[in-house]
Amino acid sequence: MFVLIVVLMSVSLIGIIAVQLYWINNALESKKAQFKNDVQKSLGSVAERIYQKEEEQIRLQVQDFIKAKSTADNAQIKNYLFQQIDTTNNRKITFGTTILEENFEIPLDFLDDEKIIFTRVTGKKDFSQTRFIKSPDDILNATSEKRFSFTGRMKILEDGQFEELLKESYKKYPINQRVSNRELNATIKDELKKRDINLDFKYGVYTYDGLATPLKSGYYTIKQKGSYKRELFSDSEGNPEHILYITFPNQNNHILSGISSILLLSLFFIFIIIIAFSSSLYQLIKQKKISEIKTDFINNMTHEFKTPIATINLAIDSIKNPKIISDNDKVLRYINMIKDENKRMHTQVENVLRISKLEKNQLEISKETIDIHDVIDDAMNHVSLLMQDKKGVIKTHFEAITTEISGNEFHLTNVFVNILENGIKYTVGAPVIDVYTESTNKFFIVKIKDEGIGMSKAVQKNVFDKFYREQKGNIHDVKGHGLGLAYVKEIVEKHYGTVFVESEKGKGSIFTVKLPLI
């Protein structure tokens, strides 16, 4: 059931996170598409405005000419034989009549000191003829009257045809003479602003064949990633002449800013879900571990109490025997046995209560100045009988210069007793224990080394945990209830010190206690 719950919770969490990420990705893609659409609309408006401005400029030139030239600059009546050659259809048209010829001069704003000579001929049928430059070289080769021609052919100008003539003339010049960098930059910025795009941008105008033009913002190349493009102007057949490219260096920041609140909220909830899941999983594992430890603790305590209780029962039954009750020596012996076993059980209960009080901060630890070497000597005296029973030996290597600390003598004695007892209990054969001391500027250091069975890395991580014992279940070749080293850690930390163990399986252990000096 535990594994099933963990699997179901994990699948649910992964599913929730996947759905959230899916919607976040959809929101980002939608924002990108909207941004692209807004940019394309803006560029379309830019191209339209530039085109309309040129159209308006041409229209104004035509209107100004008509208004300013209400009368002819010079006029003359001629008997005129006029021939028109149509090279396309290979024919010649001849007009013979008396006509009025009027000449008009039209200055060109984009060419210095240049003009178009516009001739209106009035007769039976009004018509006009003109000649226009085909290339800038024609200007140099033109006559003193600055007359221009279309491939040597005469063209009849009816209503609106003069406007078309000017349009064609504009197309002969470079694009930077038709629109300025400042005008293009301002137009782009204005159109983007209309769609709430207030971003820095870079642009460049290229010919349709990919050649760069002077219209660009600083260094620009069409190889830049994430560029948008739009056609500018077109020829007589409707093919684009130039292409406007534009890029946004901070495009991603702009897109993210549009959904930042939703994105942060989603990420926050995902974070909360992960924390909640991790906490729940941790609590499940912790509770499962505590349950197992408590079960082992109950088993261990049951065995610890079983022996003294059985011994007390046997002693009481023996005293009840008529043959023994009359023997005062035997009665006294059994009473002492009962007293010793009762003391043993009392000690076990005290250990459990002591560790419980430590956890609840109910254990009062009064501190005073003590000599830690004396404390260690006292602890070795407490285990001397155990060492004699196992024919072991404790070797001391006291090299500490400063030995006075602020601490509780009783509890610190128990700390070293517990460590020494572990070295005795977990040694096969006669135990050999070395006690080293040294001092630094701030700490007194005690190292207690044994030659016992040692510990694995996994055991070392948990050896200071409450109720933890390497041997579990019904294996009780080593007595104990898993509280000794937990008590050691709590007392050392109450003295603002640290304790840790270094061990290798089959090669013994070294417990190191660091306590701050006065």
Model confidence at 412: pLDDT above 70: yes
With left for phi above 0 and alpha for psi between -120 and 50, is residue 226 left, alpha or beta? left
More confidently predicted of 144 and 108: 108
Q: Check whether residue 237 and residue 325 sit in a common domain.
A: no
Q: Check whether residue 227 and residue 315 sit in a common domain.
A: no
Domain end (from 139, 170, 201) = 170
Q: Check whether residue 384 and residue 478 sit in a common domain.
A: yes
61 is a domain residue: no
Q: What is the pLDDT of residue 152?
A: 29
Q: Name the least confident of 132-141, 170-179, 250-259.
A: 132-141
Domain end (from 149, 170, 191) = 170
Model confidence at 162: pLDDT above 70: no
More confidently predicted of 201 and 253: 201
More confidently predicted of 85 and 189: 189
* Residue 206, token pair as written in the block: 């290229």
Q: Check whether residue 239 and residue 323 sit in a common domain.
A: no
507 is a domain residue: yes
Q: Check whether residue 378 and residue 461 sit in a common domain.
A: yes
Q: What is the pLDDT of residue 516?
A: 93
Average pLDDT for 256-263:
78
Average pLDDT for 503-518:
90
Range of the domain at 291: 259-357
Q: Check whether residue 379 and residue 501 sit in a common domain.
A: yes
Model confidence at 253: pLDDT above 90: no
Q: Check whether residue 398 and residue 353 sit in a common domain.
A: no
The model's confidence at residue 443, banded by pLDDT at 50, 70 and 90, is very high
* Residue 44, token pair as written in the block: 């379309």
The model's confidence at residue 290, banded by pLDDT at 50, 70 and 90, is confident
414: domain CATH number?
A: 3.30.565.10
63 is a domain residue: no
Q: Check whether residue 216 and residue 163 sit in a common domain.
A: no
Q: Name the least confident of 286-290, 468-472, 481-485.
A: 468-472
With CA atoms as reference, report the closest residue to 42 among 174, 167, 199, 180.
199
Strands 432-439 and 393-398: parallel
Model confidence at 140: pLDDT above 50: no
Task: Indicate the number of domains in the chain.
Answer: 4
Model confidence at 313: pLDDT above 70: yes
Q: Check whether residue 314 and residue 370 sit in a common domain.
A: no
Q: Name the least confident of 15-19, 67-71, 282-286.
A: 67-71
239 is a domain residue: yes
Q: Name the least confident of 362-376, 406-420, 499-513.
A: 362-376
The model's confidence at residue 390, banded by pLDDT at 50, 70 and 90, is confident
Q: Check whether residue 399 and residue 323 sit in a common domain.
A: no
Contact 266, 28 (CB under 8 A): no
Model confidence at 357: pLDDT above 60: yes
Digit-coded pLDDT (tens) for 319-344: 888 888 888 888 888 888 888 778 77
Q: Check whether residue 13 and residue 109 sit in a common domain.
A: no
64 is a domain residue: no
The model's confidence at residue 449, banded by pLDDT at 50, 70 and 90, is very high
Average pLDDT for 425-446:
91
More confidently predicted of 444 and 267: 444
Q: What is the pLDDT of residue 154?
A: 32
304 is a domain residue: yes
Domain end (from 170, 200, 234) = 170
Residues 6+ apart with CB under 8 A from 131: 117, 147, 148, 149, 150, 154
Q: What is the pLDDT of residue 50?
A: 87
Average pLDDT for 370-392:
88
Q: Check whether residue 253 and residue 268 sit in a common domain.
A: no
With CA atoms as reference, report the closest residue to 16 among 322, 304, 273, 314.
273
Residues 6+ apart with CB under 8 A from 145: 117
Q: What is the pLDDT of residue 410?
A: 85
Q: What is the pLDDT of residue 117?
A: 59
480 is a domain residue: yes
Residues 123-157, buried b or exposed e (16+ Cβ, 10 A)? beeebbbbbbbeeeeeeeebeeebebbeeeebbeb
More confidently predicted of 78 and 287: 287
The model's confidence at residue 267, banded by pLDDT at 50, 70 and 90, is confident
With CA atoms as reference, report the closest residue to 102 among 77, 124, 79, 125.
77
Model confidence at 396: pLDDT above 50: yes
- For the chain, give the mean pLDDT: 76
Residue with tokens 């080593």: 478
62 is a domain residue: no
Q: Name the least confident of 90-94, 248-252, 421-425, 443-447.
A: 90-94
Model confidence at 148: pLDDT above 60: no
Q: What is the pLDDT of residue 346?
A: 80
Model confidence at 130: pLDDT above 70: no
Percent of the chain whose predicted confidence (pLDDT) is above 90: 14
Q: What is the pLDDT of residue 103?
A: 59
